[in-house]
A and B are shown apart, each in its own frame.
Chain A
Amino acid sequence: MKLISNILIILVLFLTSLSAKAAEGEKINATGIVLEHVKDSHEWHITGEGDRAVVIHLPVIVYSSTGWHIFSSAQFAEEADSQGMRQGPYNLALGEAEPYSGKIVEKTGDEYKPVIDISITKTVANLFIDAFVLIFIIIYTSRWYRTHKATDPAPAGFRGLMEMLVMYIQEDIIRPSVGKGYEKYCPYLLSAFFFIFVCNLMGLIPFGGNVTGNIAITFFLALCTFIITQFSGNRHYWKDIFWPNVPGPVKVIMIPIEFVGIFTKPFALMIRLFANMLAGHAIALALTCIIFIVAATMSRGWLYGLGSFSVLLSIIMMLFELLVCFLQALVFTMLSATFIGLARTEPEEE
Protein backbone atom coordinates (compact mmCIF):
# COMPACT_ATOMS: atom_id res chain seq x y z
CA MET A 1 0.00 0.00 0.00
CA LYS A 2 2.86 2.33 0.80
CA LEU A 3 4.27 1.87 -2.66
CA ILE A 4 0.96 2.69 -4.30
CA SER A 5 0.59 5.78 -2.15
CA ASN A 6 4.11 6.78 -3.16
CA ILE A 7 3.17 6.41 -6.79
CA LEU A 8 0.07 8.49 -6.23
CA ILE A 9 2.13 11.17 -4.52
CA ILE A 10 4.60 11.34 -7.36
CA LEU A 11 1.78 11.57 -9.86
CA VAL A 12 0.03 14.30 -7.90
CA LEU A 13 3.29 16.24 -7.72
CA PHE A 14 3.76 16.05 -11.44
CA LEU A 15 0.14 16.99 -11.95
CA THR A 16 0.60 20.17 -9.93
CA SER A 17 3.89 21.03 -11.57
CA LEU A 18 2.78 20.37 -15.11
CA SER A 19 -0.90 21.24 -15.04
CA ALA A 20 0.04 24.89 -15.02
CA LYS A 21 1.84 24.42 -18.30
CA ALA A 22 -0.96 22.36 -19.74
CA ALA A 23 -3.56 24.90 -18.79
CA GLU A 24 -1.64 27.61 -20.55
CA GLY A 25 -1.71 25.48 -23.67
CA GLU A 26 2.04 25.41 -23.92
CA LYS A 27 3.63 22.64 -25.83
CA ILE A 28 5.11 20.13 -23.39
CA ASN A 29 8.73 19.28 -23.92
CA ALA A 30 8.76 15.70 -22.58
CA THR A 31 12.41 15.17 -23.55
CA GLY A 32 13.38 18.28 -21.64
CA ILE A 33 11.49 17.22 -18.53
CA VAL A 34 13.00 13.74 -18.56
CA LEU A 35 16.51 15.01 -19.20
CA GLU A 36 16.19 17.68 -16.56
CA HIS A 37 15.30 15.01 -14.02
CA VAL A 38 18.03 12.50 -14.85
CA LYS A 39 20.80 15.02 -15.46
CA ASP A 40 22.93 16.49 -12.73
CA SER A 41 22.50 20.16 -11.88
CA HIS A 42 23.55 22.76 -9.37
CA GLU A 43 19.95 23.43 -8.35
CA TRP A 44 17.50 20.93 -7.00
CA HIS A 45 14.30 21.68 -8.83
CA ILE A 46 11.55 20.08 -6.76
CA THR A 47 8.31 21.34 -8.23
CA GLY A 48 6.62 24.28 -9.91
CA GLU A 49 7.58 26.43 -12.85
CA GLY A 50 8.68 30.04 -13.21
CA ASP A 51 7.63 32.18 -10.24
CA ARG A 52 6.08 29.24 -8.43
CA ALA A 53 9.13 27.04 -8.74
CA VAL A 54 10.40 25.37 -5.57
CA VAL A 55 14.14 25.12 -6.00
CA ILE A 56 16.85 24.24 -3.52
CA HIS A 57 20.00 26.19 -4.35
CA LEU A 58 22.88 23.85 -3.64
CA PRO A 59 26.35 25.02 -2.61
CA VAL A 60 28.98 25.51 -5.28
CA ILE A 61 32.54 24.48 -4.46
CA VAL A 62 35.06 25.33 -7.18
CA TYR A 63 38.77 25.82 -7.52
CA SER A 64 39.57 28.48 -10.09
CA SER A 65 42.68 30.51 -10.86
CA THR A 66 41.77 32.72 -7.89
CA GLY A 67 41.61 29.80 -5.45
CA TRP A 68 38.80 27.98 -3.68
CA HIS A 69 35.31 29.50 -3.77
CA ILE A 70 32.27 28.28 -1.87
CA PHE A 71 28.94 30.02 -2.46
CA SER A 72 25.28 29.30 -3.10
CA SER A 73 24.24 28.54 -6.66
CA ALA A 74 21.55 31.20 -6.15
CA GLN A 75 24.29 33.76 -6.78
CA PHE A 76 24.32 32.91 -10.47
CA ALA A 77 22.13 35.22 -12.52
CA GLU A 78 18.53 34.10 -13.04
CA GLU A 79 18.67 34.68 -16.78
CA ALA A 80 21.32 33.56 -19.19
CA ASP A 81 23.09 36.18 -21.31
CA SER A 82 23.41 36.15 -25.08
CA GLN A 83 26.12 33.49 -24.97
CA GLY A 84 23.91 31.25 -22.85
CA MET A 85 25.94 31.87 -19.71
CA ARG A 86 24.56 32.70 -16.26
CA GLN A 87 27.08 35.08 -14.74
CA GLY A 88 28.10 34.60 -11.12
CA PRO A 89 30.68 35.88 -8.64
CA TYR A 90 34.47 35.55 -8.94
CA ASN A 91 34.29 35.75 -12.75
CA LEU A 92 32.55 32.40 -12.76
CA ALA A 93 29.61 31.51 -14.97
CA LEU A 94 27.16 28.61 -15.20
CA GLY A 95 26.52 27.40 -18.73
CA GLU A 96 22.93 26.98 -19.87
CA ALA A 97 23.65 26.05 -23.49
CA GLU A 98 26.34 24.16 -25.36
CA PRO A 99 29.31 23.89 -25.21
CA TYR A 100 29.25 24.60 -21.45
CA SER A 101 25.78 23.28 -20.63
CA GLY A 102 25.50 22.61 -16.89
CA LYS A 103 29.17 23.38 -16.30
CA ILE A 104 30.79 26.09 -14.23
CA VAL A 105 33.53 27.93 -16.13
CA GLU A 106 35.82 30.84 -15.38
CA LYS A 107 35.85 33.90 -17.57
CA THR A 108 39.37 35.07 -18.35
CA GLY A 109 39.17 37.91 -20.83
CA ASP A 110 36.81 36.69 -23.52
CA GLU A 111 37.67 33.03 -23.08
CA TYR A 112 35.86 30.58 -20.82
CA LYS A 113 38.10 28.09 -19.03
CA PRO A 114 37.01 24.98 -17.13
CA VAL A 115 37.50 24.90 -13.35
CA ILE A 116 37.78 22.13 -10.80
CA ASP A 117 34.19 21.74 -9.69
CA ILE A 118 33.37 19.63 -6.63
CA SER A 119 30.04 21.34 -5.95
CA ILE A 120 27.30 19.65 -3.99
CA THR A 121 25.10 19.06 -7.02
CA LYS A 122 21.68 17.42 -7.04
CA THR A 123 23.22 13.98 -7.51
CA VAL A 124 25.81 14.58 -4.80
CA ALA A 125 23.08 15.71 -2.41
CA ASN A 126 21.10 12.59 -3.23
CA LEU A 127 24.24 10.55 -2.82
CA PHE A 128 24.68 11.98 0.68
CA ILE A 129 21.08 11.22 1.58
CA ASP A 130 21.32 7.67 0.25
CA ALA A 131 24.64 7.09 2.00
CA PHE A 132 23.14 8.43 5.22
CA VAL A 133 20.21 6.05 4.92
CA LEU A 134 22.56 3.19 4.13
CA ILE A 135 24.87 3.93 7.05
CA PHE A 136 21.86 4.20 9.33
CA ILE A 137 20.66 0.80 8.13
CA ILE A 138 24.10 -0.74 8.62
CA ILE A 139 24.55 0.68 12.12
CA TYR A 140 20.96 -0.03 13.17
CA THR A 141 21.18 -3.62 12.01
CA SER A 142 24.67 -4.50 13.16
CA ARG A 143 24.25 -2.86 16.58
CA TRP A 144 21.83 -5.62 17.52
CA TYR A 145 24.38 -8.23 16.51
CA ARG A 146 27.12 -6.67 18.57
CA THR A 147 24.96 -6.56 21.71
CA HIS A 148 23.51 -10.05 21.48
CA LYS A 149 24.86 -13.55 21.79
CA ALA A 150 24.49 -16.31 19.24
CA THR A 151 22.32 -18.18 21.71
CA ASP A 152 19.72 -15.39 21.79
CA PRO A 153 16.59 -15.78 19.67
CA ALA A 154 17.08 -14.55 16.09
CA PRO A 155 16.05 -10.95 15.42
CA ALA A 156 12.66 -10.26 13.89
CA GLY A 157 11.31 -7.52 11.62
CA PHE A 158 13.67 -5.27 9.70
CA ARG A 159 16.81 -6.81 11.17
CA GLY A 160 15.54 -10.23 10.22
CA LEU A 161 15.01 -9.01 6.68
CA MET A 162 18.52 -7.56 6.56
CA GLU A 163 19.95 -10.77 7.95
CA MET A 164 18.17 -12.72 5.25
CA LEU A 165 19.46 -10.36 2.55
CA VAL A 166 23.03 -10.33 3.86
CA MET A 167 23.13 -14.09 4.16
CA TYR A 168 21.53 -14.53 0.75
CA ILE A 169 24.11 -12.29 -0.92
CA GLN A 170 26.99 -13.76 1.00
CA GLU A 171 26.15 -17.45 0.92
CA ASP A 172 24.29 -17.77 -2.36
CA ILE A 173 25.99 -15.12 -4.50
CA ILE A 174 29.47 -14.31 -3.24
CA ARG A 175 30.54 -17.71 -1.95
CA PRO A 176 29.76 -19.81 -5.04
CA SER A 177 31.09 -17.08 -7.37
CA VAL A 178 34.35 -16.22 -5.63
CA GLY A 179 35.07 -19.64 -4.21
CA LYS A 180 37.56 -20.35 -1.46
CA GLY A 181 38.70 -17.34 0.56
CA TYR A 182 35.56 -15.38 -0.29
CA GLU A 183 35.39 -13.76 3.16
CA LYS A 184 37.83 -10.95 2.42
CA TYR A 185 35.77 -9.78 -0.57
CA CYS A 186 32.52 -9.71 1.42
CA PRO A 187 32.83 -6.18 2.83
CA TYR A 188 33.31 -4.65 -0.63
CA LEU A 189 30.73 -6.77 -2.41
CA LEU A 190 28.15 -6.33 0.36
CA SER A 191 28.84 -2.58 0.39
CA ALA A 192 28.40 -2.45 -3.37
CA PHE A 193 25.18 -4.44 -3.25
CA PHE A 194 23.56 -2.44 -0.48
CA PHE A 195 24.83 0.85 -1.86
CA ILE A 196 23.33 0.15 -5.27
CA PHE A 197 20.16 -1.32 -3.80
CA VAL A 198 19.54 1.60 -1.46
CA CYS A 199 20.33 4.18 -4.17
CA ASN A 200 18.02 2.39 -6.61
CA LEU A 201 15.17 2.25 -4.11
CA MET A 202 15.69 5.86 -3.03
CA GLY A 203 15.48 6.79 -6.67
CA LEU A 204 12.00 5.29 -6.83
CA ILE A 205 10.45 7.35 -4.07
CA PRO A 206 9.23 10.88 -4.75
CA PHE A 207 12.00 13.56 -4.61
CA GLY A 208 14.53 10.76 -4.74
CA GLY A 209 17.09 11.60 -7.34
CA ASN A 210 18.78 9.56 -9.97
CA VAL A 211 22.05 8.38 -8.39
CA THR A 212 22.83 4.96 -9.81
CA GLY A 213 21.61 6.10 -13.23
CA ASN A 214 24.63 8.36 -13.28
CA ILE A 215 27.73 7.31 -15.15
CA ALA A 216 30.19 8.68 -12.58
CA ILE A 217 28.68 6.48 -9.87
CA THR A 218 28.67 3.30 -11.92
CA PHE A 219 32.13 4.20 -13.27
CA PHE A 220 33.50 4.35 -9.75
CA LEU A 221 31.88 1.06 -8.74
CA ALA A 222 33.09 -0.68 -11.90
CA LEU A 223 36.56 0.77 -11.31
CA CYS A 224 36.58 -0.72 -7.80
CA THR A 225 35.65 -4.11 -9.18
CA PHE A 226 38.29 -3.74 -11.89
CA ILE A 227 41.05 -2.89 -9.41
CA ILE A 228 40.06 -5.65 -6.98
CA THR A 229 39.90 -8.16 -9.83
CA GLN A 230 43.37 -7.27 -11.11
CA PHE A 231 44.88 -7.45 -7.62
CA SER A 232 43.19 -10.80 -6.99
CA GLY A 233 44.46 -12.28 -10.25
CA ASN A 234 46.76 -15.24 -9.80
CA ARG A 235 49.50 -16.53 -12.10
CA HIS A 236 47.03 -18.66 -14.00
CA TYR A 237 44.80 -15.64 -14.69
CA TRP A 238 47.60 -13.57 -16.18
CA LYS A 239 48.99 -16.51 -18.13
CA ASP A 240 45.56 -17.09 -19.69
CA ILE A 241 45.55 -13.48 -20.86
CA PHE A 242 49.10 -13.11 -22.18
CA TRP A 243 49.90 -16.70 -23.14
CA PRO A 244 46.59 -18.53 -23.67
CA ASN A 245 46.62 -22.28 -24.08
CA VAL A 246 45.84 -22.25 -27.85
CA PRO A 247 47.86 -23.09 -30.97
CA GLY A 248 50.47 -20.50 -32.12
CA PRO A 249 48.65 -18.45 -34.78
CA VAL A 250 45.47 -18.30 -32.74
CA LYS A 251 47.49 -16.66 -30.00
CA VAL A 252 47.87 -13.60 -32.20
CA ILE A 253 44.10 -13.16 -32.18
CA MET A 254 43.46 -14.36 -28.65
CA ILE A 255 45.94 -12.18 -26.79
CA PRO A 256 44.43 -8.84 -27.88
CA ILE A 257 40.92 -10.20 -27.29
CA GLU A 258 41.81 -11.40 -23.81
CA PHE A 259 43.58 -8.14 -23.05
CA VAL A 260 40.64 -6.04 -24.16
CA GLY A 261 38.43 -8.42 -22.18
CA ILE A 262 40.04 -7.20 -18.96
CA PHE A 263 38.50 -3.80 -19.61
CA THR A 264 35.26 -4.75 -21.30
CA LYS A 265 34.07 -6.75 -18.30
CA PRO A 266 33.96 -3.82 -15.86
CA PHE A 267 32.88 -1.55 -18.70
CA ALA A 268 29.83 -3.75 -19.25
CA LEU A 269 29.15 -3.58 -15.51
CA MET A 270 29.26 0.19 -15.62
CA ILE A 271 27.00 0.57 -18.66
CA ARG A 272 24.49 -2.08 -17.55
CA LEU A 273 23.73 -0.50 -14.21
CA PHE A 274 23.78 3.04 -15.58
CA ALA A 275 21.52 2.30 -18.55
CA ASN A 276 19.04 0.22 -16.58
CA MET A 277 18.53 2.78 -13.86
CA LEU A 278 18.48 5.70 -16.29
CA ALA A 279 15.91 3.94 -18.43
CA GLY A 280 13.78 3.24 -15.37
CA HIS A 281 13.66 6.92 -14.48
CA ALA A 282 13.08 7.93 -18.08
CA ILE A 283 10.16 5.54 -18.50
CA ALA A 284 8.50 6.59 -15.23
CA LEU A 285 8.73 10.24 -16.26
CA ALA A 286 7.75 9.65 -19.86
CA LEU A 287 4.62 7.76 -18.85
CA THR A 288 3.63 10.63 -16.58
CA CYS A 289 4.28 13.15 -19.34
CA ILE A 290 1.80 11.34 -21.58
CA ILE A 291 -1.03 12.62 -19.41
CA PHE A 292 -0.04 16.22 -19.94
CA ILE A 293 0.71 15.87 -23.61
CA VAL A 294 -2.75 14.41 -24.04
CA ALA A 295 -4.25 17.08 -21.82
CA ALA A 296 -2.66 19.81 -23.88
CA THR A 297 -3.62 18.53 -27.29
CA MET A 298 -6.71 16.33 -27.11
CA SER A 299 -10.27 16.43 -25.83
CA ARG A 300 -11.40 15.67 -22.26
CA GLY A 301 -12.51 12.10 -23.11
CA TRP A 302 -9.10 11.24 -24.45
CA LEU A 303 -7.53 12.82 -21.38
CA TYR A 304 -9.43 10.61 -18.90
CA GLY A 305 -9.00 7.50 -21.02
CA LEU A 306 -5.32 7.82 -21.78
CA GLY A 307 -4.64 9.39 -18.39
CA SER A 308 -5.97 6.44 -16.41
CA PHE A 309 -4.23 4.09 -18.80
CA SER A 310 -1.00 5.93 -18.23
CA VAL A 311 -1.47 5.80 -14.43
CA LEU A 312 -2.06 2.07 -14.65
CA LEU A 313 1.03 1.68 -16.80
CA SER A 314 3.04 3.79 -14.36
CA ILE A 315 1.98 1.54 -11.49
CA ILE A 316 2.99 -1.55 -13.42
CA MET A 317 6.30 0.08 -14.40
CA MET A 318 6.91 1.10 -10.80
CA LEU A 319 6.41 -2.48 -9.60
CA PHE A 320 8.66 -3.64 -12.39
CA GLU A 321 11.26 -1.04 -11.41
CA LEU A 322 11.12 -2.36 -7.86
CA LEU A 323 12.22 -5.70 -9.22
CA VAL A 324 14.83 -4.07 -11.42
CA CYS A 325 16.26 -2.19 -8.40
CA PHE A 326 16.96 -5.45 -6.63
CA LEU A 327 17.97 -7.30 -9.77
CA GLN A 328 20.50 -4.72 -10.95
CA ALA A 329 22.13 -4.55 -7.52
CA LEU A 330 22.22 -8.33 -7.51
CA VAL A 331 23.59 -8.58 -11.05
CA PHE A 332 26.32 -6.07 -10.31
CA THR A 333 27.35 -7.93 -7.16
CA MET A 334 27.14 -11.32 -8.80
CA LEU A 335 29.18 -10.31 -11.85
CA SER A 336 31.76 -8.54 -9.70
CA ALA A 337 32.04 -11.68 -7.59
CA THR A 338 32.27 -13.82 -10.72
CA PHE A 339 35.04 -11.66 -12.21
CA ILE A 340 36.98 -11.86 -8.96
CA GLY A 341 36.32 -15.59 -8.81
CA LEU A 342 37.52 -16.09 -12.40
CA ALA A 343 40.74 -14.24 -11.65
CA ARG A 344 41.36 -16.54 -8.71
CA THR A 345 40.56 -19.93 -10.19
CA GLU A 346 43.34 -22.47 -10.01
CA PRO A 347 44.01 -24.44 -13.21
CA GLU A 348 42.30 -27.80 -13.25
CA GLU A 349 44.58 -30.79 -12.88
CA GLU A 350 44.58 -32.83 -16.03
Chain B
Amino acid sequence: MELLMPSFGLLFWMTLVFLIVLVIMWRFGFPAVSKMVLERKKFIDDSLQQAFEAKEKLAHIQEESEAILQKAREKQAEILNTAKATHDTIVAKAKDDAREEANKLIADAKAQIEAEKSAAIQDIRSQVAELSVHIAEKVIRKKLSDDSSQMQVIDNLLDEISVKK
Protein backbone atom coordinates (compact mmCIF):
# COMPACT_ATOMS: atom_id res chain seq x y z
CA MET B 1 0.00 0.00 0.00
CA GLU B 2 2.85 2.35 0.71
CA LEU B 3 3.69 2.40 -2.99
CA LEU B 4 0.21 3.69 -3.75
CA MET B 5 0.25 6.59 -1.29
CA PRO B 6 1.67 9.78 -2.75
CA SER B 7 4.14 11.18 -0.25
CA PHE B 8 3.85 14.84 0.64
CA GLY B 9 7.54 15.70 0.28
CA LEU B 10 7.78 14.23 -3.18
CA LEU B 11 4.59 15.96 -4.24
CA PHE B 12 5.98 19.25 -2.98
CA TRP B 13 9.24 18.92 -4.88
CA MET B 14 7.49 17.61 -7.97
CA THR B 15 5.20 20.64 -8.02
CA LEU B 16 8.19 22.96 -7.72
CA VAL B 17 10.32 21.16 -10.30
CA PHE B 18 7.53 20.72 -12.81
CA LEU B 19 6.46 24.34 -12.58
CA ILE B 20 10.06 25.43 -13.19
CA VAL B 21 10.27 23.09 -16.18
CA LEU B 22 6.95 24.40 -17.44
CA VAL B 23 7.99 28.03 -17.13
CA ILE B 24 11.30 27.37 -18.86
CA MET B 25 9.48 25.46 -21.58
CA TRP B 26 7.02 28.30 -21.93
CA ARG B 27 9.50 31.15 -21.95
CA PHE B 28 12.55 29.72 -23.71
CA GLY B 29 11.47 26.33 -24.86
CA PHE B 30 9.93 24.51 -27.69
CA PRO B 31 7.37 27.08 -28.84
CA ALA B 32 10.44 28.68 -30.43
CA VAL B 33 11.09 25.41 -32.22
CA SER B 34 7.59 25.04 -33.61
CA LYS B 35 7.48 28.73 -34.51
CA MET B 36 10.71 28.36 -36.43
CA VAL B 37 9.51 25.18 -38.13
CA LEU B 38 6.30 26.87 -39.22
CA GLU B 39 8.30 29.86 -40.47
CA ARG B 40 10.65 27.55 -42.33
CA LYS B 41 7.69 25.72 -43.83
CA LYS B 42 6.25 29.02 -44.98
CA PHE B 43 9.63 30.03 -46.38
CA ILE B 44 9.93 26.75 -48.31
CA ASP B 45 6.38 27.02 -49.61
CA ASP B 46 7.01 30.61 -50.67
CA SER B 47 10.26 29.62 -52.34
CA LEU B 48 8.53 26.85 -54.22
CA GLN B 49 5.80 29.22 -55.29
CA GLN B 50 8.39 31.76 -56.39
CA ALA B 51 10.33 29.14 -58.31
CA PHE B 52 7.14 28.05 -60.02
CA GLU B 53 6.26 31.61 -60.88
CA ALA B 54 9.78 32.30 -62.13
CA LYS B 55 9.60 29.21 -64.31
CA GLU B 56 6.32 30.33 -65.72
CA LYS B 57 7.65 33.80 -66.28
CA LEU B 58 10.68 32.37 -68.03
CA ALA B 59 8.46 30.37 -70.36
CA HIS B 60 6.44 33.49 -70.96
CA ILE B 61 9.56 35.51 -71.65
CA GLN B 62 10.79 32.92 -74.09
CA GLU B 63 7.50 33.06 -75.90
CA GLU B 64 7.64 36.81 -75.88
CA SER B 65 11.19 36.91 -77.19
CA GLU B 66 10.22 34.51 -79.93
CA ALA B 67 7.39 36.84 -80.88
CA ILE B 68 9.67 39.86 -80.74
CA LEU B 69 12.20 38.08 -82.94
CA GLN B 70 9.51 37.19 -85.43
CA LYS B 71 8.30 40.76 -85.45
CA ALA B 72 11.85 42.00 -85.92
CA ARG B 73 12.33 39.66 -88.84
CA GLU B 74 9.15 40.91 -90.42
CA LYS B 75 10.18 44.48 -89.86
CA GLN B 76 13.55 43.76 -91.33
CA ALA B 77 12.02 42.32 -94.48
CA GLU B 78 9.70 45.28 -94.68
CA ILE B 79 12.54 47.75 -94.24
CA LEU B 80 14.62 45.94 -96.83
CA ASN B 81 11.73 46.06 -99.28
CA THR B 82 11.16 49.73 -98.68
CA ALA B 83 14.86 50.41 -99.01
CA LYS B 84 14.97 48.55 -102.29
CA ALA B 85 12.00 50.49 -103.59
CA THR B 86 13.54 53.76 -102.44
CA HIS B 87 16.80 52.76 -104.03
CA ASP B 88 15.06 52.01 -107.28
CA THR B 89 13.20 55.30 -107.27
CA ILE B 90 16.34 57.22 -106.44
CA VAL B 91 18.30 55.51 -109.16
CA ALA B 92 15.51 56.11 -111.67
CA LYS B 93 15.20 59.71 -110.63
CA ALA B 94 18.95 60.15 -110.83
CA LYS B 95 18.96 58.67 -114.27
CA ASP B 96 16.19 60.98 -115.36
CA ASP B 97 17.92 63.96 -113.86
CA ALA B 98 21.15 62.98 -115.52
CA ARG B 99 19.43 62.59 -118.85
CA GLU B 100 17.72 65.92 -118.48
CA GLU B 101 20.93 67.58 -117.46
CA ALA B 102 22.75 66.02 -120.34
CA ASN B 103 20.06 67.17 -122.74
CA LYS B 104 20.20 70.61 -121.29
CA LEU B 105 23.99 70.65 -121.53
CA ILE B 106 23.84 69.42 -125.10
CA ALA B 107 21.24 72.04 -125.92
CA ASP B 108 23.33 74.73 -124.27
CA ALA B 109 26.40 73.53 -126.10
CA LYS B 110 24.50 73.52 -129.35
CA ALA B 111 23.24 77.01 -128.74
CA GLN B 112 26.70 78.16 -127.83
CA ILE B 113 28.20 76.48 -130.87
CA GLU B 114 25.53 78.08 -132.99
CA ALA B 115 26.23 81.44 -131.44
CA GLU B 116 29.96 81.02 -131.82
CA LYS B 117 29.50 79.77 -135.33
CA SER B 118 27.47 82.78 -136.30
CA ALA B 119 29.93 85.04 -134.49
CA ALA B 120 32.75 83.37 -136.35
CA ILE B 121 30.89 83.73 -139.63
CA GLN B 122 30.29 87.34 -138.79
CA ASP B 123 33.92 87.74 -137.95
CA ILE B 124 35.01 86.05 -141.12
CA ARG B 125 32.59 88.11 -143.06
CA SER B 126 33.88 91.33 -141.59
CA GLN B 127 37.44 90.20 -142.10
CA VAL B 128 36.62 89.19 -145.66
CA ALA B 129 35.00 92.57 -146.17
CA GLU B 130 38.00 94.25 -144.66
CA LEU B 131 40.32 92.18 -146.74
CA SER B 132 38.21 92.88 -149.78
CA VAL B 133 38.34 96.52 -148.95
CA HIS B 134 42.12 96.33 -148.54
CA ILE B 135 42.47 94.35 -151.68
CA ALA B 136 40.10 96.62 -153.39
CA GLU B 137 41.95 99.59 -152.06
CA LYS B 138 45.19 98.22 -153.33
CA VAL B 139 43.69 97.30 -156.64
CA ILE B 140 42.00 100.56 -156.86
CA ARG B 141 45.18 102.40 -155.91
CA LYS B 142 46.92 100.66 -158.70
CA LYS B 143 44.14 100.94 -161.33
CA LEU B 144 43.11 104.49 -160.61
CA SER B 145 46.12 105.82 -162.16
CA ASP B 146 44.14 106.96 -165.12
CA ASP B 147 40.90 108.76 -164.98
CA SER B 148 39.00 106.84 -167.53
CA SER B 149 39.44 103.54 -165.87
CA GLN B 150 38.77 105.27 -162.61
CA MET B 151 35.49 106.45 -163.80
CA GLN B 152 34.64 103.09 -165.20
CA VAL B 153 35.36 101.36 -161.97
CA ILE B 154 33.30 103.88 -160.07
CA ASP B 155 30.50 103.37 -162.42
CA ASN B 156 30.76 99.63 -162.15
CA LEU B 157 30.76 99.83 -158.43
CA LEU B 158 27.90 102.15 -158.37
CA ASP B 159 26.05 99.82 -160.63
CA GLU B 160 26.78 96.89 -158.50
CA ILE B 161 25.59 98.68 -155.41
CA SER B 162 22.51 99.89 -157.06
CA VAL B 163 21.84 96.46 -158.48
CA LYS B 164 22.33 95.03 -155.11
CA LYS B 165 19.89 97.49 -153.67
Interface of A toward B, CB cutoff 8 Å? 38-40, 61, 101-102, 116-121, 123-124, 127-128, 131, 134-135, 138-139, 141-143, 145-146, 148, 150-151, 154, 162-163, 166-167, 170, 186-188, 190-191, 194-195, 214-217, 219-221, 224, 278
| Residue from A101, A134, A170 in contact with B2 in the complex, judged by beta carbons closer than 8 Å | A101
Knowing A146-B32, A150-B43, A190-B30, say if A138 contacts B24 (CB, 8 Å).
Answer: yes
**B residues within 8 A CB of A124?**
9-10, 13
* Interface residues in B, total, Cβ within 8 A: 36
**A residues within 8 A CB of B37?**
163, 166-167
CB distance from B7 to the nearest CB of A (A): 6
CB distance from A173 to the nearest CB of B (A): 13
Interface residues of B in 26-61 (CB under 8 A from A): 26, 28-37, 39-40, 42-43
Knowing A142-B28, A142-B29, A146-B32, say if A131 contacts B10 (CB, 8 Å).
Answer: no
Contact call B9/A117, Cβ cutoff below 8 A: yes
Contact call A127/B11, Cβ cutoff below 8 A: no
Main secondary structure of the interface of A (DSSP, over half): helix
| Residue from A40, A148, A154, A163 in contact with B7 in the complex, judged by beta carbons closer than 8 Å | A40
CB distance from A59 to the nearest CB of B (A): 11
Interface of B toward A, CB cutoff 8 Å? 2-15, 17-18, 20-22, 24-26, 28-37, 39-40, 42-43
Q: How far is the CA of A208 from the CA of B82 in the complex (A)?
A: 97
CB distance from B14 to the nearest CB of A (A): 5
| Residue from A121, A166, A191 in contact with B10 in the complex, judged by beta carbons closer than 8 Å | A121
**B residues within 8 A CB of A141?**
30, 33
CB distance from B34 to the nearest CB of A (A): 5
Contact call A127/B24, Cβ cutoff below 8 A: no
Q: Which residue of chain A is the closest to B14 with respect to CB atoms?
A: A220
CB distance from B121 to the nearest CB of A (A): 109
6 A-B residue pairs with CB within 8 Å:
A38-B3, A121-B10, A138-B21, A146-B28, A150-B36, A187-B22
| Residue from A121, A128, A154, A278 in contact with B17 in the complex, judged by beta carbons closer than 8 Å | A128
**B residues within 8 A CB of A163?**
33, 37
**A residues within 8 A CB of B40?**
150-151, 154
**A residues within 8 A CB of B24?**
135, 138-139
Contact call A170/B34, Cβ cutoff below 8 A: yes
CB distance from B100 to the nearest CB of A (A): 80
Knowing A128-B17, A163-B33, say if A102 contacts B2 (CB, 8 Å).
Answer: yes
**A residues within 8 A CB of B26?**
187, 191
Knowing A101-B2, A150-B36, say if A220 contacts B18 (CB, 8 Å).
Answer: yes
